[in-house]
Chains A and B, each alone.
Chain A
């Protein structure tokens, strides 16, 4: 069972991602509804992969990504940006922090799962 951490302030979206992924039976999904909560969860829970939103109150997804990559405990955890922001600039910024992939919402669960599996298989 892969442990997936979803950091998104949109709780309803996080809920459906959790439900849809767990339905497959291959993933254990942890939800974090704020950036700080997400970073804490990432350090404590040590997930296999993180799905990270960009637009969040208090702290943007890029800052979270930067923190995670700079934190020793989380630096090696692959991060896939999962956001409604669909601009070249955002994609370039994410890439500069060594994220693994960039998925624009809305995304079909099959596509999401395929991308998660691709990242995980690349890592292991």
Chain B
């Protein structure tokens, strides 16, 4: 609940309790008024009864005057109406009696008179039979009745005979005297009692409260007047306006007005004061607290009360808080700058494309390594971070010694080209730089490298390509040279051959020496021609026409050619045997050229086998390549000759017309097929020549070679 609401409730409570008190006071006044009224009422009653008594006194005296009643007794006896006329009528005005009735002892009316001059009062107001009842208990009576002239007070008495003044016997007659309660009489009552008097018949009495009581400062006093049977006939109402009650009421009303006004004033004063003293300062303070700013209200600041104190305390708090906040902000911005800088460094380190690592100087323990480092070395980050430089074997002990030595001497090493070993054992080339850094107590080494493996590979490939190009150009030039040379040699050879053959056919000499000389000359020419031919084949190889073929087919055909050649020239017992492979391996080669190669190798093998032996030729696949192996049981090749086997013009069989170009041509053809040739030999045991050629997946029909 808000303070404002509480204050309002408090103010309302105060005001209402004040009003309650006022109402209570008013109630008390009412009871005081009631008692005042009661007093007034009894005073009225007394005054009224007194007035009635006083006014009715003449009538009472009239009906109780013994001497007068003695005369009436005599009148009853005499019945002298003249006397009656003279004495009775005359007495009416004296006694202020309006009407008189004299009855005989039997109740019959003897005489009646009134001062009204009207006959309205001549008739007896009561029945003659009633008279006896009227005086049964008492010798006098008093009652009211309604007459045609208005309400009338009646007094009666029993008249005794003159001989019975004590009234011990039956009355001799009766007397009734009446007085009208007319306007004049009522005016008399009014003047005596000081009240307004009115008479109403019982049947007409208004029921609006004009009974006994107080209303509007007036005091009503009502009294019923009874007939001879004690039944109400009419009501007499006296209205008095007592001054004291009026004064009291006015005073009471004024008090009430003053109290109400005072309560309003109290409300306003309480409201304004409490609002200004408590609510407004509280609200301003709470607003300032909500806005989180110092209180700038000058009125509040100037106040000497608790709110003023609170305001200055709060302002001090805000001042303090402001200082704290600025300190915190400064601290935070410094922190975030530091964090940003750390993040920048970490990112620069991690995302650096060059491999980087940080390790302890003392034991080489890795503190951190970036992604490029782990990626290139093949070690996981976990493996690297948990390990030491010498445990990972990234650097060889020699390289490590170079690096650590330089770091010891100069505190740094720059652009050292080192070979590293990856987790999988692969060798890579790095340009390695490192610096020793002190961070606090820690002496660490920051190492960065540049992986140049691919660059070196590319350089090597470029070098190879250039080399190949140069080689190709050289070969082309050599080819052109060989062609020209061959042409220039072949022409004279042709003339020589033509000339020798002319001499042979034309010569008539039959001397065997001359004939032999001619034959030898011809052979020399033919040998020179073979040399030139081989030289051309070596220096200017013919274009390769590739086709896919099974090695079994190549071997089979080569053996076929060799067998043809052998039949003509050789007689040695040599078993040339093929061991066909069942493997699905194919090569893509120039069939003629490879057959020439195999032919040459087989010829060499045959020539190596002295008298009898075995030559086995087979094919098999190895490491994605196809190998063809020719193994003979010949005399073998001397160890020192093995490296020279493929050199041009190297031969071990000059006497057998070897040109020394055969194996050079073989090697050249194999290399043009991107293959390799190797020779293993042992003197006296035999030789094994192995050709490897790139194998291809798909091939022609499996049966094609058969």
Contact = CB atoms under 8 A, between A and B. Distances in A.
Whether chain B is bound by chain A comes out as yes
B465 interface: no
Contacts of B505: 20, 23, 109
Interface in A60-119: 84-88, 104-109
Contact of A108 (B487, B489, B501): B501
A106 B483 contact: no
Contacts, number: 69
B543 A109 contact: no
Contact of A105 (B490, B499, B542): B490
Contact of A107 (B483, B488, B497, B536): B497
A93 B525 CA distance: 28
A64 to B, nearest CB: 17
Given A20-B501, A20-B505, A23-B506, A84 B495 contact: no
Nearest to B500: A16
Given A23-B506, A88-B542, A105 B491 contact: yes
B672 to A, nearest CB: 15
Given A105-B490, A106-B493, A86 B533 contact: yes
Given A19-B502, A20-B505, A85 B494 contact: no
B498 A17 contact: yes
A10 interface: yes
B491 A108 contact: no
A16 B490 contact: no
Contacts of A107: 494, 497
A84 B486 contact: yes
Contacts of A105: 490-491, 493-494, 497
B669 to A, nearest CB: 15
Contacts of A12: 495, 498-499
Given A23-B502, A108-B501, A16 B536 contact: no
Interface residues of A, number: 21
B502 A104 contact: no
B281 to A, nearest CB: 117
A23 B502 CA distance: 8
Given A16-B502, A20-B502, A106 B543 contact: no
A43 interface: no
B30 interface: no
B491 A10 contact: yes
A76 to B, nearest CB: 28
Contact of B487 (A17, A55, A88, A109): A55
Contacts of B488: 84
B38 interface: no
A80 to B, nearest CB: 14
A41 B141 CA distance: 214
A79 B505 CA distance: 26
B641 to A, nearest CB: 31
A15 B499 CA distance: 9
B501 A109 contact: yes
B540 interface: yes
A67 B491 CA distance: 24
Given A17-B498, A23-B502, A86 B493 contact: no
Contacts of A13: 491, 494-495, 498
Contacts of A17: 498
Nearest to A16: B498
Interface in B74-114: none
Interface in B581-607: none
A5 to B, nearest CB: 17
Interface string B525-565: 11001000100100010110000000000000000000000
Contacts of B502: 16, 19-20, 23
Interface in B469-505: 483, 486-491, 493-499, 501-502, 505
A88 B506 contact: no
B499 A106 contact: no
Given A23-B506, A87-B540, A108 B497 contact: yes
Contact of B491 (A15, A23, A84, A87): A84
A86 B506 contact: no
Contacts of B525: 106
Contacts of A23: 502, 505-506
Interface in A5-54: 10, 12-13, 15-17, 19-20, 23
Contact of A88 (B494, B498, B499, B543): B543
A104 B529 CA distance: 10
B479 to A, nearest CB: 9
Contacts of B506: 19, 23
A84 B501 contact: no
Nearest to A9: B491
Nearest to A103: B494
A21 B486 CA distance: 25
Contacts of B498: 12-13, 15-17, 19-20, 106, 109
Contact of B495 (A16, A87, A104): A16
| Residue from B490, B491, B525 having most chain A Cβ neighbours under 10 A | B491
Nearest to A15: B498
Nearest to B505: A23
A122 B351 CA distance: 82
Contacts of B529: 106
Nearest to B493: A106
Contacts of B489: 84
Contacts of A108: 497, 501
| Residue from B489, B495, B496, B540 having most chain A Cβ neighbours under 10 A | B495
A106 B487 contact: no
Contacts of A15: 498
B482 to A, nearest CB: 10
Interface string B262-292: 0000000000000000000000000000000
A40 to B, nearest CB: 24
Contacts of B542: 88
Interface string B615-648: 0000000000000000000000000000000000
Contact of A86 (B490, B497, B526, B543): B490
Interface string B112-147: 000000000000000000000000000000000000
A101 to B, nearest CB: 16
Contacts of A87: 483, 536, 540
A14 B311 CA distance: 137
A16 B486 contact: no
A88 B491 CA distance: 18
Contacts of A10: 491, 494-495
A19 B497 CA distance: 13
Contacts of B499: 12, 16
Nearest to B529: A106
A91 B62 CA distance: 202
B491 A104 contact: no
A89 to B, nearest CB: 9
A10 to B, nearest CB: 6
A30 to B, nearest CB: 17
A7 to B, nearest CB: 15
Interface of B: 483, 486-491, 493-499, 501-502, 505-506, 525-526, 529, 533, 536, 540, 542-543
8 contacts: A12-B499, A16-B499, A17-B498, A23-B502, A55-B487, A84-B494, A104-B490, A105-B491
Given A13-B495, A86-B533, A106-B493, 5 more contacts: A15-B498, A87-B483, A88-B542, A105-B493, A107-B497
4 smallest CB-CB distances across A and B, nearest first, come from: A16-B498, A84-B490, A105-B494, A106-B497
